[in-house]
Structure 1
Amino acid sequence: MNGYDRMMLALDREIPDTVPIFEILGEHLREQVCPGKPLPDPLEEGRLESLREMVKRFKGRKAIVFAVWSSFIYPSFLRGFEHYLMDFFDNPEFVLEINERFSRNYEKQIYAAAAIGADCIMESEDFCGKTGPFMSLSHFKEFCMPGLKIVSKAAKHAGLKFIKHSDGYVWPLLDCLIGELQADAYHPSEPVAGMDIRKVKEVYGDRTCVIGNIDCSHLLPFGTEKEIEDAVRQCVEENKPGGGYILSSSNCVHAAIPLKNLLAMIRAGRTYGKY
């Protein structure tokens, strides 16, 4: 059984031979782990070249995950975060229009990614801070869910697994993100935001795979290899029973995390992840 087999079984909430490991690598590590030319500017024509390279190198051996967004982060970049949230009140028609334009753009990228050979789509919008969502639940449903439904339906229609990422304290939104979107997996249950991945699996594990959640804010940047091993052992042993679990950090492997600590997490995952 290889990495692709393990990942796809876990996303189907079945039991592989060992817990699969998934990670988002910061650019500082991509060149060390996957040598080659830098990733292209997402606005350039070569946006999908890195995906083509990953398919060429890893198709059938690793689960290939292509990240998209939908209808929050990039509109807020254009308008400014505060102005964009004020638009929810002052200019709702504009918000709906611009959100759909962005979502339809990512819809096209999803179908293109599927044609190239991606296995999974990860929708990567963050809707929450460490204390809760950036907007009310009613505004989230009105302005954000339509775009999320566009990309999730595109992924399903293209035959791809759909992973929903969102940092922060996400509990108020999980019924929407997991229930309504029918996400195959939720990532990452950020512990410093009060997200308990065990509880997420208890509540939603019959509907989705959980991915997470080794702390990347302090433990992975500054912890010892023994501390990382202990955290991985606890997380894996608590979440692997019954399948439907994938080990990862609590967000991504960012520039403050040394490669040796990433490797310590992977080694521990392989040691304690066996079923």
Structure 2
Amino acid sequence: MIVSMARKNINRDFATAINLGIPEQMPVLPIALDQFAAQLSNVSYRQYSTDADILAEAWNKVIERFDLDWAGIFIDDLLEFEPLGIEVTSEDQIPRAVKKYLPATEGILADFRIPDPETDGRMKVNLEAQRLLRQHWGEKILICSSIAAPFTALTLAFGIVPIMTLLYDRPDFLIKSVKFFEELEMLWGQALVEAGADVIWLGDCSASSRFISVDTYEKFALEPAARVAEAIKRAGGNVIYHAAENKLQHLKAMVQAGGDILTIAEYADMNLVKDEIGSDICLMGNLDCIKLILNGTPEEIENEIKKLTEEVALRGGYIVNTAEGIPVQVPIENLEAMINAIRGK
């Protein structure tokens, strides 16, 4: 079992990595452990995702159990969209998902109002949980919460297929819609920072090479994301830009999205990525959550992390981490092996 040793220098080490240096100790920032947190606290995911006290206490236990450097709150993708009227599922043990998207029409867009994070839906749960965590931990940990970048926000409100069609059939309406979500995500990100978040995870997976070209990305997604990132930075937060991307041309464009850190998906050649863009931005990720962390052995995990550390992290400006969220089915011994290897134990 990992013994908690929460440290006082995580902010320094995190800043060192962002500034392209080599941190004294590699930050341990596992992604999307929310379902682990709920299980460890013996509460349903429904309780975890709707009650700030339960959420914060669940993270207290996870941080202590696994000796983490952050509370990485990734409740689900829908907190800022539920107040707009999307229909969502509500299962007892799994995160909420979209049940019915909204029609992508002028009338719907005209009816949209920016939610109030302090009062609307579950946004207030996220804010209050952050305040409780900050009260408990002070500056010993980082607090991270997630929001959607504007282009991806469109797909969470209207669905991915309608947005891909709008790119060609009604680009003017798409641009107008992006502006609304840009304003929404600016306000939401700033509210999270004001409530104690050190880091905002700016998710933009719908803007990746799986869906759009580099030219389309630069035309519709890049500048809105960069403006949201800049607003978060002005509020005092750091930004991790995440599009689950491994194609070099897209990654080169995404350097301009305003993140302090750019995540790198599995299957990318990290040495090549580091050579090409590693002098421009701090990189994070690349470990395969399924093939390695879920289905690998502790020894395989340790060897891969040692390789990434020696070949990439020791060049500065890189945080060893998974490419995506860690599945709740991951064996505990694999999670412990990952954390210990990142720590250099």
1:149-176 CA-partner distances (Å, limit 9, x unpaired): 2211102211222211111333222232
CA distance in structure 1 between the aligned counterparts of 2:331 and 2:131, rounded to whole angstroms: 28
* 1:69 matched to 2:144: no
- Return the offset for 1:137: 2.2
CA distance in structure 2 between the aligned counterparts of 1:196 and 1:50, rounded to whole angstroms: 37
Structure 1 residues 151, 32: CA separation in 2 closer, same or farther (over 3 Å shift)?
Answer: same
* 1:14 matched to 2:21: yes
Deviates more, 1:102-111 or 1:254-263: 254-263
The one-letter code matched in structure 1 to 2:298 is: E
The one-letter code matched in structure 2 to 1:25 is: A
Structure 1 residues 156, 35: CA separation in 2 closer, same or farther (over 3 Å shift)?
Answer: farther
- Return the offset for 1:128: 5.8
TM superposition score normalised by structure 2: 0.71
Count of residues in correspondence between the two structures = 266
Candidates 188, 194, 214, aligned match of 1:137: 214
* 1:163 matched to 2:170: no
- Return the offset for 1:253: 0.9
CA distance in structure 2 between the aligned counterparts of 1:214 and 1:184, rounded to whole angstroms: 20
Contact 2:287–2:322 (CA<8 Å) still a contact in 1?
yes
- Return the offset for 1:25: 2.1
Q: Which residue of 1 aligns with 2:134?
A: 55
Q: Secondary structure at the match of 2:48?
A: coil
* Unaligned stretches of 5+ residues in structure 1: none
Q: Which residue of 2 aligns with 1:39?
A: 49
* 1:183 matched to 2:190: no
Structure 1 residues 31, 60: CA separation in 2 closer, same or farther (over 3 Å shift)?
Answer: same
CA distance in structure 1 between the aligned counterparts of 2:30 and 2:40, rounded to whole angstroms: 12
- Return the offset for 1:69: 0.9
Contact 1:201–1:239 (CA<8 Å) still a contact in 2?
yes
The CA RMSD over aligned residues, in Å, is 2.3
Sequence identity (%): 24
CA distance in structure 2 between the aligned counterparts of 1:8 and 1:104, rounded to whole angstroms: 28
Q: Which residue of 1 aligns with 2:330?
A: 257
Contact 1:128–1:167 (CA<8 Å) still a contact in 2?
no
TM superposition score normalised by structure 1: 0.87
Candidates 182, 202, 206, aligned match of 2:275: 202
The one-letter code matched in structure 2 to 1:39 is: S
Contact 2:226–2:258 (CA<8 Å) still a contact in 1?
no
CA distance in structure 2 between the aligned counterparts of 1:133 and 1:218, rounded to whole angstroms: 20
1:70-118 CA-partner distances (Å, limit 9, x unpaired): 2233322333322211101111121112112112111011221221222
Contact 2:147–2:203 (CA<8 Å) still a contact in 1?
yes
- Return the offset for 1:32: 4.9
Pairing 1:90-239 to 2, within 5 Å after superposition? 90-127=169-206, 132-178=209-255, 180-187=256-263, 189-191=264-266, 194-239=267-312
CA distance in structure 2 between the aligned counterparts of 1:153 and 1:34, rounded to whole angstroms: 36
The one-letter code matched in structure 2 to 1:146 is: E
CA distance in structure 1 between the aligned counterparts of 2:130 and 2:219, rounded to whole angstroms: 32
CA distance in structure 2 between the aligned counterparts of 1:64 and 1:247, rounded to whole angstroms: 18
Q: Which structure would you say has the larger Rg?
A: 2
Q: Which residue of 1 aligns with 2:340?
A: 267
> Does 1 or 2 have the higher relative contact order (CA < 8 Å, sep 6+)?
1
Contact 1:232–1:269 (CA<8 Å) still a contact in 2?
yes
